[in-house]
A and B are shown apart, each in its own frame.
Chain A
Amino acid sequence: MNQTLQQRDEMSSEDAVQAAPLLAVRGLSKAFGGVHAVDELSFQILPGQIYAVIGPNGAGKTTLFNLITGLYQPDQGGVSLKGEAVQGLPPERLARLGMSRTFQNLQICMNMTALENVMLGRHLHLKRNFLAVLLRWPSLRASERTCRAQAEELIRFVGCGDYVNAEAAAMPYGALKRLEIARALATQPSILLLDEPAAGLNSTETAALEQLIRKVAAGGITVVLVEHDMKLVMSISDRILVLDYGRKLAEGTPREIRDNPDVIAAYLGG
Chain B
Amino acid sequence: MNTWIAVGATALGCYAVKLAGLLVPVGVLERPLVRRLAALLPVALLAALTAQQTFADGHALVLDARAAGLGAAAVALVLRAPFLVVVGVAVLVTAGLRSLTG
A, B: real partners? no
